[in-house]
Amino acid sequence: MFDWIVSLIDKAGYLGIALLMLLENVFPPIPSEVIMPLAGFSAAKGTLSFTGVVLAGTIGSLAGAYFWFLIGRWIGAKRLKRFAARHGRWLTMHPDEVDQARAFFSRHQALALFLGRLVPAIRSLISVPAGVNCIPISTFLLWSFLGTALWTVLLAGAGYLLESQYEKVSEWLNPISNVVIAALAVWYVYRVISFKAPEAS
């Protein structure tokens, strides 16, 4: 996969970066931690401009986030509550908790979107509850853009500064991503085991 990423950026330039970052959001196994530092290295060599690299990465990533936002809109609160009523244990929430989660997201939507775009492993997932909650598209795009732009600047900047050693960025971030994924998995298993359906009134 690494050779394919390198080849696409070399051949397609900014369009390749945008496409890769779009795919990174839709298919998480394609890591931004590899794409953007490599793009930053290309900018350091003078092949691409740093500003162009950041814009391409941000636009592609935001497009992928918007895809998951639309999925969340399609699911909707009513469908999610019906699913929670039937399969609450596997969703780890009952219908009332769906409403509670939506209320929490409504209160903290800007912060959740901004910070969510900076956390490995949940960068794409944060778009789904945003869609389910039917927050305004303008709000979603604004805060997702700000978080995404900061993420791409940090990764591309690291690749730009490290130049030929840009692969170290992925080496540093991979353990963090693994810890986040492991924590989410443990939390999910705990929620499934400890789940209790609400008593019928």
Alpha-carbon gap, residue 97 to 94, rounded angstroms: 5
Rg for the chain, CA atoms, rounded: 19
Q: Which of residues 28 and 111 earns the better pLDDT score?
A: 111
| Predicted pLDDT of residue 181 | 62
pLDDT in tens, 156-165: 998 888 876 6
The percentage of residues in the chain with a pLDDT greater than 70, rounded to a whole number, is 74
50-91 helix and 95-107 helix, angle to the nearest 10 degrees:
150
Query: Is residue 29 predicted with pLDDT exceeding 80?
Result: no
| Predicted pLDDT of residue 140 | 93
**pLDDT band at residue 150 using 50, 70 and 90 as cut-offs:** very high
Query: Is residue 175 predicted with pLDDT exceeding 70?
Result: no
The token pair that represents 100 in the structure block: 């509670």
